[in-house]
């Protein structure tokens, strides 16, 4: 494993972080039992993975807690999150603090390394700063968590409006943002400010349905070509990113996706999700590979650097729940 320091937090973390939500949910999404999911997490630890990102809404905090109990709390850097809403109503500060306390119980720990406010919408940011952040900073001083983070809601905020505001406020030490080969708009706008402020970054959506679901990439590219947003030849291709797979380049589109994100300046941790041992090993192996050839990266920048809102699908269980 390659390790880095997460922004200015001082936390030493592997560059490959286990994302415990999404469709896989440490294997729960694939039908694994709680014990089997813990075993999968142990395999990740054996590969050098030490950062685990969960949330109250994922239903995986207990698994991370069991894993920490098994391997030793100091072996893991644990991040979790509180949601902000119950239905259409924003939670009160007291309710968010209650969520923090519940997460501590489920994780079986006295302190959380990174506590994040989850999927903060641009329209909620002022109230978050006025009501929730002061209450959470008091809990931080009480020793319940070490570092405060914020995550964007990429499907509802594809231009990073929330984080572009948040990066100017000193309270946020870690930010989770969406970044992938067809969603690069954090490069000119957000990453420079993040690096200037010393904020740690967690990259999500690096590989989601658009790269892993058969046929979705070519269908999406056809739609983008019809709208004039990518060259017509990409829209007509059954393998529009095939140029990345060659000797000396990527072994697959998913391999390319992980390597592209991992070596973007400003990236600290690339989050991956999985429900299988083989997938776990291949994901980590890709994240640890060298950068893609410079000419391939430049072509990705040129072709897709101007795209917005592409490949930012919600996890299947969330999307199905709101339909």
End-to-end CA distance of the chain: 40
pLDDT of residue 319: 42
pLDDT of residue 215: 93
Do 63 and 38 meet the contact criterion of CB atoms below 8 Å apart?
yes
Q: What letter would DSSP give residue 315?
A: P
Single out the catalytic residue among 58, 115, 125, 258. Answer: 58
User: Domain count of the chain?
Assistant: 1
In a domain, 114, yes or no: yes
- Residue identified by tokens 């320091």 is 5
In a domain, 78, yes or no: yes
Strand partners, 77: 51
In a domain, 323, yes or no: no
In a domain, 322, yes or no: no
In a domain, 74, yes or no: yes
Q: What letter would DSSP give residue 214?
A: T
In a domain, 69, yes or no: yes
d(CA 165, CA 168): 6
Do 311 and 205 meet the contact criterion of CB atoms below 8 Å apart?
yes
In a domain, 286, yes or no: yes
Cα torsion 264, 268, 273, 276 to 10°: value is 100
Do 184 and 211 meet the contact criterion of CB atoms below 8 Å apart?
no
**pLDDT tens, the chain, 323 aa long:** 999 999 999 999 999 999 999 889 999 999 999 999 999 999 999 999 999 999 999 999 999 999 999 999 999 999 999 999 888 889 999 999 999 999 999 999 999 999 999 999 999 999 999 999 999 999 999 999 999 999 999 999 999 999 999 999 999 999 999 999 999 999 999 999 999 999 999 999 999 899 989 899 999 999 999 999 999 999 999 999 999 999 999 999 999 999 999 999 999 999 999 999 999 999 999 999 999 999 999 999 999 999 999 999 876 544 433 33
d(CA 313, CA 297): 24
Host domain of residue 306: 3-317
Do 80 and 54 meet the contact criterion of CB atoms below 8 Å apart?
yes
pTM: 0.94
In a domain, 234, yes or no: yes
CATH number for the domain spanning 176: value is 3.20.20.100
58 among known catalytic residues: yes
């Amino acid at each position: 494993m390659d390790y880095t320091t997460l922004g200015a937090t001082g936390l030493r973390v592997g560059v490959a972080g286990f994302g415990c939500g999404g469709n896989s949910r440490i294997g729960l999404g694939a039908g694994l039992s709680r014990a089997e999911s813990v075993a999968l997490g142990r395999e990740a630890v054996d590969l050098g993975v030490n950062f685990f990102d969960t949330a109250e809404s994922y239903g995986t905090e207990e698994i991370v807690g069991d894993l920490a109990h098994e391997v030793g709390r100091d072996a893991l850097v644990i991040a979790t999150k509180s949601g902000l809403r119950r239905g259409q109503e924003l939670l009160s500060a007291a309710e968010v603090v209650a969520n923090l306390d519940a997460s501590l119980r489920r994780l079986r720990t006295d302190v959380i390394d990174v506590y994040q406010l989850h999927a903060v919408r641009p329209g909620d940011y002022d109230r978050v700063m006025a009501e929730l952040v002061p209450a959470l900073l008091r809990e931080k001083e009480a020793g319940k968590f070490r570092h405060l983070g914020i995550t964007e809601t990429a499907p509802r905020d594809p231009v990073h409006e929330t984080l572009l505001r948040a990066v100017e406020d000193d309270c946020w030490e870690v930010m989770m943002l969406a970044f992938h080969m067809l969603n690069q708009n954090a490069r000119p706008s957000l990453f420079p400010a993040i690096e200037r402020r010393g904020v740690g970054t967690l990259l999500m959506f690096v590989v989601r349905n658009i790269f892993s679901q058969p046929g979705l990439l070519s269908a999406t590219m056809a739609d983008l070509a019809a709208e004039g947003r990518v060259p017509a030849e990409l829209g007509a291709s059954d393998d529009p990113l095939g140029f990345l797979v060659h000797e000396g380049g990527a072994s697959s589109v998913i391999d390319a996706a992980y390597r592209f994100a991992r070596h973007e300046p400003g990236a600290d941790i690339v989050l991956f999700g999985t429900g299988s041992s083989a997938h776990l090993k291949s994901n980590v192996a890709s994240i640890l590979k060298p950068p893609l050839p410079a000419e391939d990266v430049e072509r990705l920048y040129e072709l897709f650097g101007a795209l917005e809102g592409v490949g930012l699908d919600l996890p299947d269980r969330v999307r199905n729940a709101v339909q």
